């Protein structure tokens, strides 16, 4: 199987850059070591499935960290056309990209208001997620001085102990909603343990947030993230805001994944070689051939976001790849730009220079790779590199 020979336009979303079925970005396919395919139809299907589950609550979309490595512009553009009206990003730089992709959507910035940035929020029509009394004072001062009524979210800390004002401060601020231009367009909090449904902190946070919501009656509220959508009605409030589940990572660990896979990563084989029994492969000589071994070396590595912790050694098997339709184990350390794969079990000539190995896709999910690396799907997705030729389908 060969990598598609698709040229990469300078702006993949510009008119004429590609059809609705396939857009491209990054270096041309014949110059790239690997191809990342993002299935926008799957992202949309996941968003719609989560929307149906949380009805009648609004379903927003979290597109921070470059839409979890999948690309803010294509993801936001597609979801906005599909009916998504609210997006969450991490910072102002991401808000600028989201605003270009979704001109009419509400864009909330989760990291809040950095000093001196209020005017930039107004210019973008972006809404800060206010997480401290200091931020609120600065935002109120700007809004008053400039008669700005663009709105902001108020983040209440219910147990994460990261960002957000205390429940007591939220109670003290509640009378402000009686003012005509109070400026609070969303009341929100964040679940710390939603991926563990039986954890007692879930019920504690849901109950505390319910008490705060009563004080802010009439203000839309949001609590549930991806896994929170599966905690039931008590977590839904007026808006759910899934992130990683949109991109195919399992929001219900330990159970079957209800989401569709949204990405495929294939790397080009740059060399096929044989090592004899007893020879070592890769850095630190950590993997030793137990017999004459045939290797396929592919052009991807930890510089591309493939986790080094997924390496194979004599002590641990590491991850796998799919070559010529068969699962094959890695051999040796994942290096910066290269990965060696043990293809001894394949028939002769079934894998050649220029063919590809599937690193994520087919039977190998993002969660599978994360497990092999001792990490989580979030980290795998957000680490996806910029050297890939990218294909956006759907």
Which residues are designated catalytic? 64, 283
Tokens of 147: 């008669």
Tokens of 64: 């921070």
CA distance 370 to 249: 10
Q: Dihedral through CA 159, CA 161, CA 164, CA 168, nearest 10?
A: 60
Residue 348: CB partners within 8 Å, gap ≥ 6? none
Tokens of 9: 């336009």
Closest CA to 188 of 229, 232, 239, 143: 239
3-state secondary structure of 202: helix
CA distance 188 to 220: 9
Spatial contact of 316 and 305, defined as CB atoms under 8 Å apart: no
Q: Dihedral through CA 135, CA 136, CA 142, CA 145, nearest 10?
A: -150
Closest CA to 188 of 116, 105, 121, 128: 128
Place of tokens 């139809």: 41
């Amino acid at each position: 199987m060969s990598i598609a020979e698709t040229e990469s336009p300078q702006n993949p979303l510009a008119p004429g850059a590609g059809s609705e079925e396939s857009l491209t970005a990054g270096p041309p396919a014949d110059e790239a070591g690997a191809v990342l395919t993002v299935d926008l139809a799957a992202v949309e299907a996941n968003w719609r499935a989560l929307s149906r589950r949380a009805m009648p609550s609004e379903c927003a979309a979290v597109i921070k960290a470059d839409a979890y490595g999948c690309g803010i512009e294509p993801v936001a553009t597609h979801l906005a056309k599909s009916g998504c009206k609210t997006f969450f990003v991490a910072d102002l730089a991401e808000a600028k990209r989201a605003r270009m992709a979704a001109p009419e959507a509400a864009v909330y910035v989760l990291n809040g208001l950095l000093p001196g940035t209020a005017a930039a929020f107004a210019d973008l029509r972006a809404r800060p997620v206010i997480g401290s009394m200091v931020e609120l004072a600065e935002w109120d001062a700007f809004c008053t001085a400039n008669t700005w009524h663009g709105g902001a979210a108020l983040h209440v800390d219910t147990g994460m102990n990261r960002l957000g004002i205390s429940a007591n401060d939220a109670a003290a601020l509640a009378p402000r909603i009686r003012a005509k231009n109070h400026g609070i367009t969303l009341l929100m909090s964040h679940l710390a343990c939603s991926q563990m449904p039986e954890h007692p902190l879930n019920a504690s946070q849901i109950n505390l947030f319910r008490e705060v919501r009563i004080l802010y009656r009439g203000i839309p509220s949001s609590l549930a993230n991806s896994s929170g959508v599966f905690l039931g009605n008590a977590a839904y409030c007026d808006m759910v805001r899934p992130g990683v589940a949109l991109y195919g990572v399992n929001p219900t660990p330990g159970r079957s994944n209800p989401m569709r896979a949204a990405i495929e990563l294939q790397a080009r084989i740059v060399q096929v070689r044989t090592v004899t029994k007893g020879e070592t492969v890769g850095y630190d000589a950590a993997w030793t051939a137990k017999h004459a071994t045939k290797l396929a070396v592919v052009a991807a590595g930890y510089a591309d976001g493939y986790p080094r912790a997924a390496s194979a050694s004599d002590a641990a098997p590491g991850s796998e790849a799919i070559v010529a339709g068969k699962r094959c184990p890695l051999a040796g350390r994942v290096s910066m730009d290269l990965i060696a794969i043990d293809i001894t079990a394949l028939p002769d000539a079934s894998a050649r220079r220029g063919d590809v190995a599937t690193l994520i896709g087919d039977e190998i999910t993002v969660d599978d790779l994360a497990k092999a690396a001792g990490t989580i799907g979030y980290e795998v997705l957000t680490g996806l590199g910029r050297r890939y030729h990218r294909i956006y389908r759907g």
